Amino acid sequence: MMTGHFEAAEELSKILKSRRFDAVERWEKQRKKILELNPLVNAYITVFDKPLCRKDFRKRLLRGLTVAVKDVFHVSGYPTTAGSKLFANRVSSHTAPVVEKLLEAGAAVNGKTNLHEFAFGVSNINPHFGACKNPFDLARVSGGSSGGSAVAVALGMCDIGLGTDTAGSVRIPASFCGVVGFKPSIGSLSTEGVIPLSWSLDHVGTLSRSVWETAVAYAVMTNKVKEISKITPAKLERLKIGVPINYFLEYLSHDVREMFEQSLKKMEAKGAELVDIHVPDVEKAVRCRTVIGFAESSAYHLGVCKGNLAVYGEDVKQRIVAGLSITAVGYLTALRARKKLVAKFRQVFNQVDVLATPTTTITAHRIDEQEIDVDGKIINVRAATLRNTEPFNLYGVPSISIPMGFSSKGLPTGLQLVADFGEDFKLLGIAYGVEKLFKTSS
Amino acid sequence: MEKAVEKLLRIAGIEYRDVKNRFDDSAWKNIEILEELLEVVEDDDRPF
């Protein structure tokens, strides 16, 4: 564990209000950290010599707070590798609109972060740029595919991380690395200027050290800066929290189950009402997501690889081969089924305000592990990692992972909260309230 | 059919014989999923 290197979740509101805040001094401190720790954790693929920002950033809202950008977002004048050998020498000619919005608000981009190759995996073991390692145990994965941004945030190499999430790629590394990961409602953040994994499932999301920071970044990127003053921790009294009785709580490791049960007890003690919920057709939703995601990925890569699929890492290559076996009828049927599955799922919010699940069923696994023993059952680590996050990409509803404590091995665990489509700020307020509760009761 | 798959995979730059197991297993599984999802869409005649 990289003791002494973790950045405390200090609220950026205090920094932003401080007259003495010196962005350049903060950049230098963060750069020193990157130069010292990046060779150990592989969080960044490209570190900018000087953070990219507007000349008058000091007069703007974010005053030079730094953003680390997953290396699928185009930033004009810099390489965008997508974690692939194929794109290693490509330099972007334009900047993704979500990055532009952060720059316009006074943020400074300090580099491009490591990811699972083409964002098509959840371990962040990248054969071309090195495995992104978990700062709590360097023998373990960061989780992915936005692992570099999660590690950069956890270690204080930047203030905010940008990521993408197609099956859990923001929330999974957030859970494994002990930070906050937010995937908003589908379409609320533009995916323009972002190298795609799956056009209809990709979500842009954020990683940060607190829910408040997440909400600020989200407000900036959605042109809702006025909402920032309204972001307060929601009261948990009489809040209806749905606890799934099917699918999500199966195959939990002992530590994750214990932390989840403790979290529920804390919320209940604060006045929240826990409601048992049967989430309909989750298994069908998962298979539907797989068909759509794999078909779209393979359609994109068949064109972009230009006959060079052989240079891809073995795992990603195999997934693209699997996607190529999907028929047009299979894909179109999945798109039609999606509408029905989403409509049926959203009815759960007639009964509860939010759903709560563990973000991942296990804590970060070892880099060399393919399978894991969960209470006597042997489970593939990829399946265990994305099991609880991927349904919400099909449903397109906002989901957030917040730290809920540590396992007996000192590894972080994450609590996932999920709200109905479009209720992003409501979800952030609830997550803020839960985060405050966890901090005061830990 | 096999020739069509060979041609498809050559566009990607790989040989069918090298990935035959993965491709065939996935194709089979995808048909099973199709069967399951057809039950979801039932007789709904709307597009996606």
ipTM of the prediction = 0.96
Give the tens place of pLDDT for each residue, A336-357: 999 999 999 999 999 999 999 9
**CA nearest A301 in B: which residue?**
B12
- The pLDDT of residue A43: 98
Residues of chain A with pLDDT > 70, as a percent, come to 98
Q: With contact defined as beta carbons under 8 Å apart, do A437 and A266 qualify?
A: yes
Nearest 5°: the CA angle A56, A58, A59 is 75
Which whole-number Å values give the CA distances from A353 to A182, A244, A262, A342, A429, in the listed order?
17, 13, 20, 17, 12
User: Does residue A290 belong to the interface with chain B, where contact is any CB pair within 8 Å?
Assistant: yes
Q: Name which of A286, A287, A267 is nearest A275 in CA terms.
A: A267
Q: Please tell me which of the candidates A284, A308, A330 has its beta carbon nearest to residue B40.
A: A284
- Tell me, yes or no, if A284 comes closer than 8 A to chain B by beta carbon: yes
C-alpha to C-alpha distance for A80 and A103, rounded to whole angstroms: 18
| C-alpha to C-alpha distance for B28 and A81, rounded to whole angstroms | 34
Please count the other Cβ atoms lying within 10 Å of the Cβ belonging to residue A381: 18
Within a 10 A sphere around the Cβ of B7, how many other Cβ atoms? 10
For A121-139, write each residue's pLDDT tens digit. 999 999 999 999 999 999 9
Residue A9 pLDDT exceeds 70: no
* Band of residue A194 on the pLDDT scale cut at 50, 70, 90: very high
Looking at the complex, does the CB of residue A303 fall below 8 Å from at least one CB of chain B?
no
Q: Above 90 in pLDDT, residue A2? A: no
Which pLDDT score, from 0 to 100, does residue A3 have? 62
pLDDT of residue A375: 82
pLDDT at A203: 98
Q: Tell me which H or E stretch contains A42.
A: none
Chain A interface test: which of B41, B42, B45 (most A C-beta within 10 Å): B41
pLDDT (tens digit per residue) in A41-57: 999 999 999 999 999 99
The pLDDT tens digits of the residues spanning A389-436 come to 999 999 999 999 999 999 999 999 999 999 999 999 999 999 999 999
Q: Once rounded to an integer, what is the mean pLDDT over residues A156-168?
A: 97
CA distance A363 to chain B (A): 29
User: Exposed/middle/buried for A89, CB within 10 Å: 0-12, 13-18, 19+?
Assistant: exposed
String of b and e for A155-166 (b: at least 16 CB within 10 Å)?
bbbbbbbbbbbb
- pLDDT reported for residue B43: 79
* CB contact A383 to B (< 8 Å): no
Residue in this structure with the two tokens 């972080």, named with its chain if needed: A412
Q: What pLDDT score does A1 carry?
A: 60
pLDDT band at B6; cut points 50, 70, 90: very high
pLDDT at B15 over 90: yes
- Identity of the amino acid at A96: A
For chain B, positions 5-34, list CB contacts with chain A under 8 A. 8-14, 19, 22-24, 26-27, 30-31, 33-34
Are the C-beta atoms of A435 and A393 separated by less than 8 Å?
A: no
- What CA–CA distance (Å, rounded) separates A203 from A289? 14
Closest-CA distance, A377 to chain B, in angstroms, reads: 23
| Helix ranges restricted to H, A347-398 | 381-386, 391-395
Look up the pTM and report it: 0.97
Q: Is the pLDDT of residue A306 over 90?
A: yes
Q: Which two tokens stand for residue B29?
A: 């599984």
Would you call A314 an interface residue with chain B, using a CB distance cutoff of 8 Å?
A: no
Confidence class of residue A11 from pLDDT cuts 50, 70 and 90? low
Confidence of residue A7 (pLDDT cuts 50, 70, 90): low
B41 vs A327, A330, A333: nearest CB: A333
Residues of B in contact with A332 (CB under 8 A): 48
End-to-end CA, chain A: 20
Residue A300: in which H helix or E strand, if any? helix A282-304
Give the distance from CA A270 to its chain's centroid: 28
Confidence of residue A18 (pLDDT cuts 50, 70, 90): confident
- The stretch A362-380 carries a mean pLDDT of 95
